[in-house]
Amino acid sequence: MKDIIYEFLDYLMNEKKYSNYTETNYELDLFKYEEYLNSHKINYLKVKYKDISNFIIYLKESKYKSTSINRILSALRSFYSFLEKSNKIQSNPFPLITSVKTEKRLPNYFKYDEFITMLDSIEDTPLGIRNRLILEMLLATGMRVSELVSLKVNDIDESNKEIKVLGKGNKERIVYYGSYCSESLDNYLHKSRNILLSGKTSEYLFINNNGTKLTDRGVRLIIDKIVQKSCIKSKVSPHTFRHTFATLMLNEGCDIKSVQELLGHASLSTTGIYTHLTNEEVRREYLKAHPHGRE
């Protein structure tokens, strides 16, 4: 089964243009599934509906969260769809498999003053200048971390403060940035980037301390260190910047359709969760302020 899994992963990367992050998760999920099948002596080409149901029960009993189970099922649906299109299986049980019910959790976000605290903790060094731009650009644009590290210098139109982003499903969109991010970008391009390149050349915007392209994991580690140093209370990851961007935009009156376009969401319902987030913020402010609203 290992060979066909790697063939499938190559297909995701080369044909579907999935991110490295998604590809890594699919790889882990598929090998977990293979391990289960081997332990139960089940041929992956001949799985039935009951086999998948038992696998879901196994995941629940193994204390997997509903979101994790659904992620695994998503990987398996794609995998079996690939097997079906490749004529490697006669029947596909996954159209009959439904996702596990999950609790609707609102995405976390940070306050603007916490963002300023993070920026204030960054030193004025070549790496610090780069790290400041990472934070500024994530909050200014709401882009995914995979999109950020894939940015090329030529993707940026500095005169119009626009960035061409290649998102999920190889879909292109334009995002915008303001004067603060523009200043950080100018500082990075003219003071820091060439120092980090150390004589090397690269088309990518963000460079690591070895003079090569920065990775998703590299950005996560950078943000973890900044959060730790700044001692803020909120949980912050690269994706938290995306949540914060959407929340700030809606709170300031931007219409939800525009936020959908800027985030690169295929469905408006995906963006809709941020309206719940802003409504909850309004509710908290109401309960705090109204004399008959306090609990």
Euclidean distance between CA atoms 8 and 230, whole angstroms? 42
Give per-residue pLDDT as tens, 56-104: 999 999 999 888 999 999 999 999 999 999 999 988 999 989 888 876 6
Q: pLDDT grade, residue 277 (50/70/90)?
A: low
Q: Does domain 2-96 have CATH number 2.60.120.20?
A: no
Q: Does domain 112-288 have CATH number 1.10.443.10?
A: yes
Euclidean distance between CA atoms 219 and 136, whole angstroms? 13
SS3 assignment, position 166? strand
Question: Are the C-beta atoms of 215 and 203 separated by less than 8 Å?
Answer: no
The ranges assigned to domains in the chain are 2-96, 112-288
Q: What is the mean pLDDT of residues 225-246?
A: 90
Euclidean distance between CA atoms 160 and 156, whole angstroms? 9
Question: Are the C-beta atoms of 167 and 173 separated by less than 8 Å?
Answer: yes
Structure token digits, residue 209 = 């301390």
Q: What is the pLDDT of residue 284?
A: 61
Structure token digits, residue 279 = 């409504």
Catalytic center residues: 144, 168, 239, 242, 265, 274
Q: In terms of Cα–Cα distance, which of 80, 36, 76, 79 is closest to 60?
A: 36
Euclidean distance between CA atoms 178 and 134, whole angstroms? 14
Q: Does the model's pTM come out above 0.85?
A: no
SS3 assignment, position 204? strand
Euclidean distance between CA atoms 46 and 12, whole angstroms? 23
Q: pLDDT grade, residue 285 (50/70/90)?
A: low
